[in-house]
Amino acid sequence: MSTNGPDGTQAVAGLLAPLLRSGDVVLLTGGLATGKTTFVKAVVAALGSSATVTSPTFMLAQFYPLPQGTVLHVDAYRLSGSMSIVTWGWTITLTTQSP
Ligand SMILES: Nc1ncnc2c1ncn2[C@@H]1O[C@H](COP(=O)(O)OP(=O)(O)OP(=O)(O)O)[C@@H](O)[C@H]1O
Ligand SMILES: [Mg+2]
């Protein structure tokens, strides 16, 4: 899906947010500054959080606790090989693939 600007990206995020259920995974791909964080920011806001959402490029992962569950925002940009996040009894493993 492509949008013409932040407003469009926020609108798409606002439509998707109420459809998300616990355990859903949303994959965002795109080069630097293509609106991935803008999308996550709008999803988290639409779910009712006032948390400040930033790019987790240097953090790898950030958690946004919400009344209905926690949003885990992972940025795989600096990931090489694989990474596992163990949380709430789940193990999430991300593995990069050579182009
Ligand atoms: N179609 C679009 N959707 C979302 N943001 C856009 C769009 N066009 C331009 N922008 C602008 O691009 C800038 C970068 O957006 P954002 O930080 O969300 O990108 P990113 O993909 O998360 O970048 P990075 O890879 O550096 O983390 C913002 O200032 C945003 O307003
Ligand atoms: Mg980002």
Length of the chain: 99
Best residue for ligand 1 mutational test, from 4, 27, 38, 52 (most atoms within 8 Å of Cβ): 38
Give the Cα separation of 64 and 32 in Å (integer): 22
Give the pLDDT of the chain (99 residues) as one tens digit per residue: 788 899 999 999 999 999 999 889 898 988 888 999 999 999 999 999 888 888 766 677 788 888 888 888 888 777 777 777 776 667 777 777 655
Q: What is the pLDDT of residue 95?
A: 73
Q: What is the pTM of this model?
A: 0.85
Q: How far is the CA of 62 from the centre of ligand 2 (A)?
A: 12
CA distance 34 to 31: 6
Q: How far is the CA of 90 from the centre of ligand 2 (A)?
A: 25
Residues in Cβ contact with 93 at an 8 Å cutoff, skipping those fewer than 6 apart: 82, 83, 84
Domains located in the chain, CATH noted: 6-87 (3.40.50.300)
Of all atoms in ligand 1, which is nearest to the CA of residue 40?
Answer: 18
